[in-house]
Structure 1
Amino acid sequence: SFKDIGFWSMIPALTFDSREREKTATFARIGSTIGGNLVGVVVMPLVLFFSLNSNGGTGDTRGWFWFAVIVATIAWLSAVAVGIGTKEVDSDLRKNKEKTTFKKVLHILTHNDQLMWIALSYGLYTTGVTLVNSLELYYFTFILGNSSAFSIFASLNIVTGLLSVSLFPKLADKLNRRNLFFWCILTMIIALVLFVFAGQSLPMVLIAAVLFAIPQPLVFLVVLMTISDSVEYGQLKLGHRDESLTLSVRPLLDKLAGAISNGVVGLTAVAAGMTTGATAASVSASGQVTFKLIMFGLPIVIILIGTYVFYRRVTLTEKKHAEIVDQLERTWGKQLADDSDNPVTTSTKIEAGAHDYNAPIAGELVDLASVNDPIFANGALGQGFAIKPSDGRVYAPFDGTVRIAFSTRHAVGLVSDTGVVTLIHIGIGTVAMQGTGFVTYFERGQHVKRGDLLIEFWDKAIKDAGYDDTVIVTITNSSVDDTLTLKKPLGSLVDKDDVILTLENNG
């Protein structure tokens, strides 16, 4: 459980991009699907291989000991490989100024409403699903009367599980995660109804079981992505980033659902007469009814309640998450300027004297107050200017360091060698393009020279998507005592070699 929590909690530390998170989680889920099902395939062959006595196919203590050694060794080596090989994204957005105390844990969990609602929804859903999964072997043994057919179902699960997981990115992109969730729930409800009326028909039982299994990895990934995105939601709302704490919620709910279902399974087996020595023929009609009510009726009710919670309360879509990341990215410069005690900051104090600022892109110079974005226009993010681009190339306006490289590639944050902090933002609303049509030529922390190419973008893609292509430039750490003078008149054409602004700092 500790390893599971640690593993899945890393996802928001690897990227800010929802689509990249989907791909990462998809590959991870493929690995866990193969690993989880592979254990069932190799366990008895390995146990019997190392056993001195087969004991009718169950093996002996020596066989089980060496199976445990093999599993423990592989688990340890894989954990070391993940620890050494995983690289977290290095971004100022992930810098917390203070540690999270236990008292704040409760505050975070109770005040991040999207985390709480998705947790409640998934908690109900996974309890119902786990209950069905835990009773499936009983169904094959005592209702269908063919326990050996369960291995057929397990084999089908490996194939369908891998297929559904691999299709997740495309399905999520085509349907969006919210709609995909509802389609999955509908499929599972249909499967449970088929189960109820399957009777002794093995083909119908297998169809129902597979239909119930296919959506499960998809729902898992939808929930995982939504919980991952709630990290930035909580950061924006609470002012504190808590990745591992947020991502530990999902494994906790799975473990809790497993504990509840195990208790219910034991009680159900006793109530239905499916105990030691029982067979399909010995289970009474009333026992079968009791079993089906608990295996199908109760989960349907629980899953539908969880779905209703998701429908009414979970509003954190991919589009909303992109907007949240955009808001966090826009304010990075102000936070950097105000955080002079942060050891990761090289210098946010502008040196005394005059500092030239070249045009970062060719085009028509526009007054910042006239741009179609009130946050930029009112100067809340700093003084500056805007340019209607005639070219699709953004250049470094001064010698400095790239302080933040946005996942959506539509903006860049720089700090000059003399302490000027600037944000160059391409277009308005372009965060929703998720990097489509943008190419970056830098890494975070890279030192650049005036005139170095930073970003190329396809202007037509921005306009075809219905967004404003205005390039907005702000100096986020300028103060009221600083004098910013435009060296070119508004409406004039500028190029990357033109000094467009001078900042005078009198110390």
Structure 2
Amino acid sequence: MKQIKQYISYAFGAFGHDAFYATLSTYFMIFVTSQLFSSSNHSLDDKMIGYITTMIVVIRLVEIAFDPLIGGVVDNTRTRWGKFKPWIMIGATISSIGLILIFTNFGGLNYSNPILYLILFGIVFVILDVFYSFKDTAFWSMLPAFTLSSSKRAKFSSIARLGSTLGSQGVIIVIVPLVTILSGMFGAKSGQENQAGWLGFAIVIGLISFLGALATSVGTKEEHNIIRENTEKIHLVDVFKVIFKNDQLMWLALSYFMLAFSYTVTNSLFIYYFKYVMGKSGSFYIVGIITAILGIISVSLFPALEKLIHRKAIYVGGIVMMLIGYTIFIFSGTNVVAVLIGISLLYFPYPLIFLAALMTIADSVEYGQLKSGNRNESVTLVVRPLLDKLGGAFANGIVGITAIFSGMTGNAKPSSISAHELFNFKFYMFYGPMVLLIIAALVYFFKITLTEKEHDKVIAELENKLSHEDDKKITTKGI
């Protein structure tokens, strides 16, 4: 019962966390391009969209450079509630408020004083992004703190991924109807959207993120053992050494970045495909329903699949399935059934690949500990969210560029999109991501050697080494 409570609490935290991330990384740019800047002054709108896009990319790239330091701060935190929970709650509170603020026009400044709007947006986004990073780092760093067992970690990570899948895909299901309903409550015509509707949506997501963080903080508990006690405060100047000296972590980082970047670009453009290519934005909720169901099935299969075929086959085989999905999608045109089949094959393996990557990173905590002599959970686990944010930052830039160069801004319709603009759109949505996925699969297949069996050997060697060190200390004290 106690373990079930931890699973549920961690899953709900992941639910709110990924609902927040999906809103920020995917749907905020849709709000910017379709609502925030959608006047008849297309020249000004395009410039402001470009400025916002550039600011997001630059801010996130600069902040990402400090993520390892954030991991160091979390690792060095000592409180009665542990080192993770304070940052989860602080980060959730401030980032949720920030999310709500960026879904406003700051009192009409977007048009009345664009420069002041950009300054205020930049300040709020920096604060939001920094505290989201603290929460993100602390939340996922808890995984190796729950247990040393790879199989038990697989269960924790699977249930967390189940929660995050429902959170991110749930946003897809509710975003169009929820924004439409809320817009109607604040003056929009039937079936239309307005900025108030989007603001209401952001408030709902911010509240869910906060409640999820609260559930994780109240309902989970860290495990204490000899290996986890082998921890010293790390000097912030040394945090980068911890990452760069861990060769398995670095190879995984290269592969996973290309995966996350390519997937996020495509995922962010799904709604553009439905709205500007197919002319069926009202059917977009079906994507959320299908992917939510597939996500539940996919995540539920991970523990069994890991035992049966192991991580490497899951990671590489999953990418092959994604490539098949891309191929079907390319030739789908406006056929809804074919598009949904392509999306299904593209999405189904992604949670499995994510979990395989997450487990590899979690196991690299002990791998790095054996090499360096000190345990650094948050500094190591920060790599995964760092890569997701890096991929998201570049993806935000690509989405903004794609929207402008494909003519998919404001009130554009499928009939107004030229053949050249459609080719531009497909290049960014399909062809580029497919190349990156192939490279990601090759890197993981040839360079990752930290398998489940190798991790078991690392644990055994660590326990033997640390128990001998303890025996020596006891003997020395006796003398």
TM-score band by shorter chain is 0.5 to 0.7
- Mapped to 1, the partners of 2:229 and 2:247 lie a distance apart of 23
- Mapped to 2, the partners of 1:32 and 1:311 lie a distance apart of 26
- Mapped to 1, the partners of 2:184 and 2:274 lie a distance apart of 29
Aligned position for 2:186: 53
Aligned position for 1:408: none
- Mapped to 1, the partners of 2:243 and 2:268 lie a distance apart of 30
CA displacement at 1:297 relative to structure 2: 0.8
* Per-residue Cα deviation, 1:187-220 (whole angstroms, up to 9, x for no partner): 0011111111112322111100111010111111
- Mapped to 2, the partners of 1:47 and 1:99 lie a distance apart of 50
Q: CA 1:156–1:349 in structure 2 vs 1: closer, same or farther (change >3 Å)?
A: same
CA displacement at 1:337 relative to structure 2: 2.5
Q: CA 1:78–1:129 in structure 2 vs 1: closer, same or farther (change >3 Å)?
A: closer
Q: CA 1:185–1:271 in structure 2 vs 1: closer, same or farther (change >3 Å)?
A: same
TM-score by length of 2: 0.67
Counterpart amino acid of 1:207? I
Q: CA 1:275–1:314 in structure 2 vs 1: closer, same or farther (change >3 Å)?
A: same
- Mapped to 2, the partners of 1:42 and 1:262 lie a distance apart of 21
In the alignment, is residue 294 of structure 1 matched against residue 294 of structure 2?
no
In the alignment, is residue 13 of structure 1 matched against residue 145 of structure 2?
yes
1:92-171 → structure 2 map (5 Å cutoff): 92-171=226-305
Q: CA 1:204–1:246 in structure 2 vs 1: closer, same or farther (change >3 Å)?
A: same
Q: CA 1:135–1:242 in structure 2 vs 1: closer, same or farther (change >3 Å)?
A: same
Q: CA 1:321–1:258 in structure 2 vs 1: closer, same or farther (change >3 Å)?
A: same
CA displacement at 1:14 relative to structure 2: 0.9
* Per-residue Cα deviation, 1:60-92 (whole angstroms, up to 9, x for no partner): 888777665554444334323322332211111
1:103-502 → structure 2 map (5 Å cutoff): 103-338=237-472, 340=473, 347-348=474-475
CA displacement at 1:40 relative to structure 2: 4.6
Q: CA 1:47–1:279 in structure 2 vs 1: closer, same or farther (change >3 Å)?
A: closer
CA contact (8 A) 2:258 2:440 kept: yes
CA contact (8 A) 1:52 1:60 kept: no
Counterpart amino acid of 2:136? D
CA displacement at 1:246 relative to structure 2: 0.7
Counterpart amino acid of 1:32? S
Aligned position for 2:155: 23
TM-score by length of 1: 0.64
- Mapped to 2, the partners of 1:271 and 1:61 lie a distance apart of 24
- Mapped to 2, the partners of 1:95 and 1:202 lie a distance apart of 55
Aligned position for 2:79: none
CA contact (8 A) 2:184 2:192 kept: no
CA displacement at 1:140 relative to structure 2: 1.9
Q: CA 1:329–1:68 in structure 2 vs 1: closer, same or farther (change >3 Å)?
A: same
How many residue pairs get aligned? The number is 345
- Mapped to 1, the partners of 2:203 and 2:277 lie a distance apart of 37
Counterpart amino acid of 1:142? Y
CA displacement at 1:242 relative to structure 2: 0.5
Counterpart amino acid of 2:381? L
CA contact (8 A) 1:53 1:59 kept: no
Q: Which runs of 5+ in 2 are unaligned?
A: 1-131
CA displacement at 1:38 relative to structure 2: 3.1
CA displacement at 1:98 relative to structure 2: 2.6
- Mapped to 1, the partners of 2:439 and 2:144 lie a distance apart of 28
- Mapped to 1, the partners of 2:199 and 2:274 lie a distance apart of 30
* Among 175, 189, 214, the residue aligned to 1:80: 214
More displaced stretch, 239-248 vs 272-281 = 272-281
CA contact (8 A) 1:48 1:54 kept: no
Question: 2:416 is paired with a residue of what secondary structure?
Answer: coil
CA contact (8 A) 2:172 2:287 kept: no
* Per-residue Cα deviation, 1:373-399 (whole angstroms, up to 9, x for no partner): xxxxxxxxxxxxxxxxxxxxxxxxxxx
Counterpart amino acid of 2:215? A
Question: 2:269 is paired with a residue of what secondary structure?
Answer: helix
Counting strand residues as a fraction of each chain, which structure ranks higher? 1
Q: CA 1:42–1:271 in structure 2 vs 1: closer, same or farther (change >3 Å)?
A: closer
Aligned position for 1:439: none
CA contact (8 A) 2:183 2:196 kept: yes
Counterpart amino acid of 1:154? G
Question: 1:198 is paired with a residue of what secondary structure?
Answer: coil
Counting helix residues as a fraction of each chain, which structure ranks higher? 2
- Mapped to 2, the partners of 1:161 and 1:34 lie a distance apart of 7
Q: CA 1:188–1:89 in structure 2 vs 1: closer, same or farther (change >3 Å)?
A: same
Identity of aligned residues (%): 41
More displaced stretch, 83-92 vs 139-148 = 139-148
Counterpart amino acid of 2:165? T
Q: CA 1:158–1:237 in structure 2 vs 1: closer, same or farther (change >3 Å)?
A: same
- Mapped to 2, the partners of 1:290 and 1:52 lie a distance apart of 37
CA displacement at 1:223 relative to structure 2: 0.3
Q: CA 1:170–1:336 in structure 2 vs 1: closer, same or farther (change >3 Å)?
A: same
- Mapped to 1, the partners of 2:178 and 2:331 lie a distance apart of 36
CA displacement at 1:126 relative to structure 2: 0.7
Q: CA 1:73–1:238 in structure 2 vs 1: closer, same or farther (change >3 Å)?
A: same
Counterpart amino acid of 1:317? T
Q: CA 1:70–1:145 in structure 2 vs 1: closer, same or farther (change >3 Å)?
A: closer
- Mapped to 2, the partners of 1:206 and 1:62 lie a distance apart of 31
Q: CA 1:72–1:282 in structure 2 vs 1: closer, same or farther (change >3 Å)?
A: closer
- Mapped to 2, the partners of 1:289 and 1:63 lie a distance apart of 32
Q: CA 1:15–1:75 in structure 2 vs 1: closer, same or farther (change >3 Å)?
A: same
Greater C-alpha Rg: 1
Q: Which runs of 5+ in 1 are unaligned?
A: 341-346, 352-506
Please report the RMSD computed on the Cα atoms of aligned residues, expressed in angstroms. 2.4
Q: CA 1:37–1:112 in structure 2 vs 1: closer, same or farther (change >3 Å)?
A: same
Aligned position for 1:454: none
CA contact (8 A) 2:154 2:303 kept: yes
* Per-residue Cα deviation, 1:151-198 (whole angstroms, up to 9, x for no partner): 212211111111111111111111111011111011001111111111
Counterpart amino acid of 2:142? M
* Per-residue Cα deviation, 1:92-143 (whole angstroms, up to 9, x for no partner): 1112353111121011111011111101110111111111111111222222
CA displacement at 1:272 relative to structure 2: 2.0
- Mapped to 2, the partners of 1:275 and 1:76 lie a distance apart of 32
